[in-house]
Amino acid sequence: MAHNDIHTPVLLDRCVNLLAPALDGPGRVVIDATLGMGGHSEALLDRFPDVHLIGIDRDADALQIAEERLAPFGDRATFVKTEYDDIVGALEVAKVERLDGILFDLGVSSLQLDRAERGFSYSQDAPLDMRMDADSELTAEKVLATYSEADLRRIFHRYGEEKLAGRFARTIVDTRDEQPLRTSAQLVQLIDKATPAAVRRSGHPAKRVFQALRIEVNRELAVLESAIPSALDAIAVGGRIVVMSYQSLEDRIVKRAFHAASQSSAPAGLPVELPEHQAKFELLTRGAERASETEIAANPRATPVRLRAAERIRGKKL
């Protein structure tokens, strides 16, 4: 099956158009920090013939697919297997110093969701893996088998915003010695039994727990908290950053970082704002943009997306 048939990039035209003013010229460099299957990268390379693209992903399967997809662009693309907060390392691998644009398409990728054996989906039975990087040691099975009740409650509440975090954590700890949790079906069944009927009617009871486990296994929020400042620091004047988030915890981190970068850092009461205190970025979106009803109908995975973008307006002259 062709890549275009199994992967529809979210808000593709909007992302490309937002990055366009920063990439339309010779010697421009853009990073696709969450390369996935390369849909956004393909569009960027196709539209901007002078751009060099650096594709980052920690998933070896995704990198292989993207390399095949982007092979027609030859040496205009550099691929780096790393976490997306390693912006400086990726620039060093590509042997470039200038960064004009960067795109983050956060969360779990279509490739990871659609391959049942990866264990990301609560709707398909598979080993409780959930690793985006198959070389990492921590799996969802290990989290469920070794974390204390307090730690399980913490991650379900913090990363899944789960109201029944305590109940689920206690149930897992009470049953795991006699019935080790090794598959997604086992976990779904356990959560389902521990969920009151009235709560079950408000949505699948396993959704938030699976989200929390995935975030914990892959350190997603910790990586994001360092990735956004690193990206903002690396972008040249006139460069742009576009970030797509799929849940409120991610969007909160992005919103906070963008707000700080687009505000003056001058202490209150100063009669004149010194240049070093002036905002370095200008927001390009009013709040978080959402997908249109038309796009959601064509690509349901766009439903929860929240897009934010900003442009560097001073500092970092290259």
Q: Is 279 left (phi over 0), alpha (psi -120 to 50) or beta?
A: beta
Burial of 43 per CB tally in 10 Å (0-12, 13-18, 19+): middle
Query: Is 38 among the annotated ligand-binding positions?
Result: yes
Output the CA–CA distances (angstroms, integers) from residue 252 to 95, 121, 243, 288, 315, in the order listed. Answer: 33, 24, 12, 10, 25
How far apart are the C-alpha atoms of 170 and 153, rounded to whole Å?
Answer: 8
Query: Is 238 among the annotated ligand-binding positions?
Result: no
Query: Is 105 among the annotated ligand-binding positions?
Result: yes
Query: Is 122 among the annotated ligand-binding positions?
Result: no
Contact assessment for residue 64 and residue 96, using Cβ atoms and an 8 Å cutoff: no
How far apart are the C-alpha atoms of 200 and 69, rounded to whole Å?
Answer: 42
Query: Is 57 among the annotated ligand-binding positions?
Result: yes
Query: Is 40 among the annotated ligand-binding positions?
Result: yes
How far apart are the C-alpha atoms of 76 and 273, rounded to whole Å?
Answer: 42
Identity at 46, one-letter amino acid code = D
Query: Is 112 among the annotated ligand-binding positions?
Result: yes
Which residue from 10, 3, 98 is spatially nearest to 54, judged by alpha carbons? 98
Q: Please give the structure tokens belonging to residue 266.
A: 């001058």
DSSP notation for 39-87: HHHHHHHHH-TT-EEEEEES-HHHHHHHHHHTGGGGGGEEEEES-TT-H
Which residue from 119, 154, 114, 150 is spatially nearest to 134, judged by alpha carbons? 119
Binding-site sequence positions? 38-40, 57, 84, 105, 112
Binding-site sequence positions for S-adenosyl-L-methionine? 38-40, 57, 84, 105, 112
